[in-house]
Amino acid sequence: MTLDLALQYLVAGLTYGAIYVVVAIGFNIVYSATGIINFAQGEFVMLGGMIAVQASRSMPLPAAIALAVAAAAAVGALVEVAFLRWLRKPTVLRMVVITIGVSILLREGALFLWGEGVRSLPYFTGDEVSSVGILGARISPQVFWVLGTVALIVGALEWFYRRTLLGWEMQACAANKDAASLCGVPVRRLVTLSFAMAAAIGALAGAVVSPITYTSYAAGGPLAIKGFTVAILGGLGNSGGAVAAGLALGVVESFAVSVLPAAYKDVVTLSLLLAVLVVRPSGLFASGEAARLKEF
């Protein structure tokens, strides 16, 4: 494999990996606040892409993306309020099944609204054929939009959790709900907010990546599984770990496609997921001690 070809695979892998990072962080945000794995997380990425494509027909691109993000955040909050908020001490089994049901409803809703067709936004700068040459590899400018957006999302979240009062409150809520509640933290509202935030960042990523990967009503499911793999690899709730694991998984997949039939790309990821779940469910970076304290 020549250097420029390797670089080409690397960049493609990083682009996909960046999206997995965002989905994984979405899982982490909700998991930290509620202890729930929201199986509908991938659907928010799909919704972001689909709504932005729809809106971009009647308004400028930035406004369409903003609308898509806001709409997805509203859907995310609605899911929490309508389906999860009022359950008293639900079992994990029950919550898993409910979020799976919600993901099916969102997917079928998208199918009903937009049909089976594959859609995408136009390239933000340039078009399908324009590219930037780096060390002999040809890279689409949209790749820089994707990587930049994901970096922005990760940075903004870091700032939010470290520097803002609301971020501190959410961390308190994640650490101990009862104690946080006693200190006057509005736990219920923050849980709703966590769903809205997870949906919003998923939707933003979905809109930005759609010129490269395209989107369709069924795009959410595979993304959710990949994102979950990354979240587990990085350690649930550990967003720094998710960034490393997501980019690594994207690159591994990208190179796997160069030697295996493309249909087996997902098999590689999923086997990795199974192996990690079995051998090291606390993730590659977390200490086993900390993981044992968490509730699965």
Partner 1 sequence: MTRPGLPAPARVALLAVAVVAVQLATQASGRGFYLTQLTMTGYYALVVLGLSLLMGYAGQISLGQAGFFAIGGYAAAFLSTIDVSAQRALPAFALATRMGLLVARPDLYGGTTLGVNPWAGLVLGVGLASGVAFAVGVPVLRLRGHYLAMATLAFGTIVSAVAVGTQRLGAADGISGVPPFPILPGVRIGGGSADRVANYYLAWGLVALAMLLLGNLVRSRTGRALRAIHGAEDAARAMGVDAARMKVRVFVLAAAMAAAAGVLLTHYVGGIGPSEASVMKSVRYVAMVAVGGMGSLWGALSAAAVLEFLSLRGVFGAHDDAVFGGILVLVMLFAPDGILSFRARGIVEKLRGRPARPGEGT
> Interface with partner 1 by CB under 8 A: which residues?
37, 83, 87, 90-94, 96-98, 100-105, 107-109, 112, 221, 225, 228-229, 232, 261, 263-264, 266-267, 270-271, 273-274, 277-278, 281, 296
CA-angle at 114, arms to 109 and 118, nearest 5°: 120
Nearest to partner 1 of 154, 174 (CB atom): 174
Contact between 12 and 209 under an 8 Å Cβ cutoff? The reply is: no
Cβ neighbours around 124 below 10 Å, total: 17
Q: How far apart are the first and last CA of the chain?
A: 43
Segment holding 139, helix H or strand E: strand 137-139
Separation CA 149–CA 187 (nearest Å): 29
CB of 68 to partner 1, least distance (A): 23
CB of 103 to partner 1, least distance (A): 8
Contact between 38 and 27 under an 8 Å Cβ cutoff? The reply is: yes
Nearest to partner 1 of 56, 282 (CB atom): 282
Nearest to partner 1 of 172, 257 (CB atom): 257
Contact between 226 and 23 under an 8 Å Cβ cutoff? The reply is: yes
CB of 27 to partner 1, least distance (A): 10
CB of 221 to partner 1, least distance (A): 7
Q: How far is CA 230 from the centre of its chain?
A: 10
CB of 286 to partner 1, least distance (A): 14
Nearest to partner 1 of 27, 145 (CB atom): 27
CA-angle at 109, arms to 107 and 111, nearest 5°: 70
Q: Which of 182, 12, 183, 39 is nearest to 107 (CA)?
A: 39
Nearest to partner 1 of 61, 252 (CB atom): 252
Separation CA 48–CA 146 (nearest Å): 14
CB of 255 to partner 1, least distance (A): 18
Nearest to partner 1 of 30, 51 (CB atom): 30
